[in-house]
Chains A and B, each alone.
Chain A
Amino acid sequence: MGEHLPILQVILPLIAAPVCLLVRHAATCWLIATLVSWFCLAIAILLLLQVLDGGAIRYQLGNWVAPWGIEYVVDRLNGFILVIVAAIGAVVAPYALRSVESELPERQIGLFYVMYLLCLAGLLGITITGDAFNVFVFLEISSLSSYALISMGRHRKALHAAYQYLVMGTIGATFFLIGVGLLYMMTGTLNMADLAEQLKPLAGSRIVHAAFGFIVVGMGLKLAVFPLHLWLPNAYAHAPSAVSVFLAGTATKVSLYVVLRFIFTVFGFEFSFVGQPLGPALLVLAVAGIVVCSLVAIYQDNVKRLLAWSSVAQIGYMLLGLSFATTLGLQAGLLHIFNHAIIKAGLFLAMGCVFLRLGSCRLDAIAGVGRQMPWTMMGFLLCGLSLIGVPPTAGFVSKWYLVLAALEKGWWPVAALIVLTSLLAVVYVWKVVEAAWFRDPPGTAGRIGEAPLVMLVPLWIAVGANLWFGLETSGNVDVAKAAAAALMGAVQ
Chain B
Amino acid sequence: MIEHVVLRVIAKLLAPFIVLFALYVQFHGDFGPGGGFQAGVIFASAFILYALIYGVENARQIAPPAVAQAAIGLGVLIYAGTGVASMLLGGKYLDYSLLAHDAGHGQHYGILIVEFGVGVTVAAVMITVFFTFAGRRGVLEAREDVATTEDDEDR
Are A and B in direct contact (Cβ within 8 Å)?
yes
Interface residues of A (CB under 8 A from B): 4, 7, 11, 14-15, 17-19, 21-22, 59-63, 105, 107, 154-157, 299-302, 305, 360-362
Given contacts A22-B73, A105-B145, contact A302 B153 (CB under 8 A): yes
Known contacts A18-B80, A61-B94; 14 further A-B pairs (Cβ under 8 A) = A7-B87, A11-B84, A11-B93, A15-B84, A18-B77, A21-B73, A61-B93, A63-B97, A154-B145, A154-B146, A155-B151, A156-B146, A300-B153, A301-B151
Query: What are 25 residue pairs bridging A and B, where the CB atoms are less than 8 Å apart in the complex?
Result: A4-B87, A4-B93, A7-B92, A11-B80, A14-B76, A14-B80, A15-B80, A15-B84, A19-B73, A21-B72, A22-B74, A59-B92, A61-B93, A62-B86, A63-B91, A63-B92, A105-B142, A105-B145, A154-B145, A155-B148, A155-B151, A156-B146, A300-B153, A301-B153, A360-B150
Residues of A within 8 A of B69 (CB): 21
Interface contact A61-B151, CB-CB below 8 Å = no
Specify which chain A residues have a CB less than 8 angstroms from the CB of B153 in the assembled complex: 300-302, 305
Q: Complex Cα distance A21/B125, Å?
A: 13
Q: Would you list the 10 A-B pairs with minimal beta carbon distance, nearest first?
A: A18-B73, A21-B73, A62-B94, A18-B76, A63-B95, A7-B93, A22-B73, A63-B92, A15-B80, A362-B151
B101 interface contact, C-beta 8 A: no
Q: Which residues of B contact A156 (CB under 8 A)?
A: 146-148
Q: How many Å lie between the Cα of A63 and that of B87 in the bound state?
A: 11
Contact check, A155 vs B150: say whether CB atoms are below 8 A apart. Answer: yes
Question: Which residue on B lies nearest to A234, using beta carbons?
Answer: B155
> Could you list which residues of chain B lie within 8 angstroms of chain A, going by C-beta atoms?
69-70, 72-74, 76-77, 80, 83-84, 86-87, 91-97, 142-143, 145-148, 150-154
Nearest chain B residue, comparing its CB with the CB of A22? B73
- Complex contact B95–A62 (CB within 8 A): yes
Cα of A18 to Cα of B124 in the assembled complex, Å: 13
B154: A residues at CB distance < 8 A: 299
Q: A105–B70 contact, CB under 8 A?
A: no
Give the Cβ gap from A36 to chain B, nearest Cβ, in Å: 13
> Which residues does chain A contribute within 8 Å of B152, judged by CB atoms?
157, 302
B residues within 8 A CB of A19?
A: 73, 77
B108 CB to closest chain A CB (Å) equals 14
A57 to chain B, nearest CB (A): 13
Please pick, from A14, A18, A61, the residue contacting B74 in the complex, using a CB distance under 8 A: A18
Q: Which residues of A contact B146 (CB under 8 A)?
A: 154-156
Q: How far is the CA of A157 from the CA of B152 in the complex (A)?
A: 10
CA distance A301 to B152 in the complex (A): 8
Minimum CB–CB distance from A300 to chain B (whole Å) comes to 6
Contacts of B84 in A (CB 8 A): 11, 15
**Smallest CB-CB separation from B145: which chain A residue?**
A105
How many angstroms between the C-alpha atoms of A11 and B69 in the bound complex? 21
